[in-house]
Amino acid sequence: MNIRRLLGETIIYGIGAILPRVITFLLNPLYIHYIDKEAFAIFTSLYAWIAFINIVLTFGFETAFFRFASDKETVAGGERTVFSTAFWFVTAVAGVFLLNVLLFSQPLAQVLDYANHPEFLRWFAWIAFLDAVCMLPFAWLRFHSQPVKYSVIRVTSILIQTILVIVLFRFIPVDTAKSFGLTEQVSYPFFANLIASLATFAMLLPVIKQVQFRMDMALCKRMLKYSYPVMLAGLAFMVNENFDKIIQYYVIAKEDAGAYGGVYKLAVLMTLFVTAYRMGIEPFLFKQMHNANAKTTYAMMTEYFTIFASVVALGIIANISWLKRLFITDASYWTAMGIVPIIVIANLCFGIYYNLSTWYKVTDRTGIGSAISWLGAGLTILLHMLFLQKYGFMASAWITLAVYFIMMMVSYGLGQHFYPIPYNTKKIVGLLATLSVFTIVIVSVFNHNFWLSNVLLLVYIAVVGYSERRLLAKVVKRRAA
């Protein structure tokens, strides 16, 4: 795959990965209007829990599928055998989980402080089950370079969810909604998500029909050996990403936790960029691993990412003043607005870390990758235990940045030992340092003034564009070729 095609597919995957999140993000003002901060804390907490569960249920088999489906020489039966084996394993694990939650939803609800709404847990169990079952069909589409189908299904699903949410909030009387089990307005997004997950499963049936009614147990053991560290790493990532939202629900005032969760969604704009990049790049990285110039390609992709991601990050930070008015319509949530620049830069560090993590994936050292992730998770938990109650939600933001930065540096150091890649380290450090200085000026000196902040953004773009003119010219030349 050439760079031009990769860029094109990344854009299409970006539509499928980003547009659903953008639409969800655009629904935030609706949620904030109808759901108070305490109820929003429930919303944030439950979605944080489901993120953990999805990692466990899929067990790292998406990455394992890419790895073994690319290795046609040692896998008998090829990619269909890999696909079928992975699909049945994930379905079995998810099925056991679903059955247990359905049987024990009431005691689980009491333990998790949702005793008045055990139906929330049942709905989330079904959502988690369907998401897990759909993971491998989506991976199949990505592996076979079918970004259009991937994106159409993703976008259609979120449109179904969005339409249903709007209808429930704006057109269905509250008493009518209660008559079919939606006793609280915070339940509307959950119910809509469940219907959308069912629709996604239905749309993926043509891919699921390719699953063979057999499992290669020897292959499954190989995939498990490869994937369980990936799963543990993913679980650790979810600790880093969502532990703050879960622990805040129980430690600080629920209205503060709700404000943090609502405002945090502004920083999701940076996460969307990283996600779109990841969707397109992951299969590409594995397909490159046997090429003679693979290391040069990996270094180049990291450099490209840092350039464009730093511009996106500063663009978000420079425009907080109007983004908050547009998307956080309840001014009472603005008490948490100080977290946004910190979380944006933290997500940039995570994106660089993701690029740097290539070394342990292509060399089958996923155990080391898992150890790095759990180093971050351990720090996340420890630092929250030490500082959250005393310093409130701002502690969570600074902890997130510190943890992702440390993981980035550790991965770089170990990667250069086990699988040296010729990164342009000086340039990447220079970009991050300049971004940090400009962010401090926007926040502390300009106080998020729209005009001054965007003038500084234009200066940054001009400086980066001039200093990287040769690299950017190569991208343009490749696209024109």
Residues 6+ apart with CB under 8 A from 391: none
| Sequence-ordered alpha helix ranges (H) in 319-449 | 320-327, 339-356, 358-362, 366-391, 393-418, 425-440
pTM for this predicted structure: 0.73
Count of Cβ atoms closer than 10 Å to residue 204 Cβ: 23
- The pLDDT, as a whole number, for residue 279 is 64
- The pLDDT, as a whole number, for residue 85 is 92
Instruction: Convert the pLDDT of each residue in 262-289 to its tens digit.
Output: 888 787 778 777 776 776 666 666 767 7
d(CA 25, CA 184): 21
- The pLDDT, as a whole number, for residue 52 is 84
Distance between the two ends of the chain, CA-based, in angstroms? 14
Q: Taking a C-beta distance cutoff of 8 angstroms, is the pair 351, 209 a contact?
A: no
- The pLDDT, as a whole number, for residue 37 is 76
- The pLDDT, as a whole number, for residue 1 is 46
Q: In the chain, which stretches have pLDDT less than 50?
A: 1
d(CA 284, CA 298): 10
Residues 6+ apart with CB under 8 A from 65: 82, 83, 86, 136, 139, 140, 143, 223
Place of tokens 């904030």: 32
Q: Which two three-digit tokens encode residue 195?
A: 């219907």
- The pLDDT, as a whole number, for residue 386 is 96
